[in-house]
Amino acid sequence: MSTSDRLFMTLDAALRTVFASHHGAQPCPTVAADATELSESEKKEAAALMRVNHVGEVCAQALYTAQAFATKNEALRDHFMRASAEETNHLAWTEARLKELGDRTSLLNPLWYAGAFGIGLLAGRLGDRVSLGFVVETENQVEAHLDGHLSRLPAHDHASRAIVAQMKDDEIRHALNAKELGAIDLPAPVKGLMKAAAKVMTTVAHRI
């Protein structure tokens, strides 16, 4: 694939992620026979958490797309694109859940995508093992973040909890896959910066 072809596909992916409606290849996780009935305040809190999760998936699309663009390893590029396709399920599920809760996605999604794309491109330019190490640390932090959401979501919000639980399992698997492909362990200061950036994103996306 030529550079111009990859550039066109990268631009197309960005536009689709930020502006299009999404449909997962896998059905949305559900809990059989458990109806979700929430008060207005519970709906508001659940929606805020699911908006944060949706932003995380927008960023995941940007990161994987940027890393796929940056690498010269065709097999690794295919791996990043497959991971991106799996993350599209999460994007679709969180988007659908927000609609069910009567709320919206973040107004800053173009900004979140652009920032994450830049970070992913930088990681990719530093080499494949660094890029994979970035995946591992990102997924580890996302796993912890989702675990926190499981404790904060209303106990009887079975619909949201089923989605978050499946997302958590998938993120763990993505981190393990990246380790198997040769990821390095990132330096502690880099991990700290990543946590700080994630904190800003989650705090803002909770409201905007």
Return the pLDDT at 27. Answer: 73
- CATH code at 197? 1.20.1260.10
Render the burial of 84-123: b for 16+ CB within 10 Å, e for the rest. Answer: bebbbbbbbbbbbbbeebeeebbebbebbbebbbebbbeb
Alpha-carbon distance of 98 to 152, in angstroms, equals: 16
Residue 55 inside a domain? The answer is yes
Return the pLDDT at 158. Answer: 87
* Closest-CA residue to 52 (of 126, 153, 132, 130): 153
Token pair for residue 199?
Answer: 């904190």
Return the pLDDT at 39. Answer: 84
Contact 62, 199 (CB under 8 A): no
Residue 21 inside a domain? The answer is no
> Per the structure, how many domains does the chain have?
1
110-169 pLDDT, tens digit each = 988 888 898 888 888 899 999 999 889 988 988 888 998 998 998 888 889 889 999 999
CB contact set of 158 (below 8 Å; sequence gap of 6+): 30, 31, 34, 35, 36
Contact 47, 103 (CB under 8 A): yes
Return the pLDDT at 98. Answer: 92
Q: Which residues of the chain are modeled with pLDDT < 50?
A: none
Cβ-in-10-Å burial (0-12, 13-18, 19+) of 139 comes to buried
State the greatest distance between any 2 C-alpha atoms of the chain, in Å, as a whole number: 53
Residue 36 inside a domain? The answer is no
Q: What is the pTM of this model?
A: 0.87
Residue 149 inside a domain? The answer is yes
Residue 182 inside a domain? The answer is yes
Residue 131 inside a domain? The answer is yes
Return the pLDDT at 207. Answer: 81
Residue 33 inside a domain? The answer is no
Query: Number of C-alpha atoms within 13 angstroms, CB side, residue 54?
Result: 32
Domain that holds residue 112: 3-14+41-205
Residue 19 inside a domain? The answer is no
Return the pLDDT at 38. Answer: 82
DSSP letter (8 states) at residue 185 = P
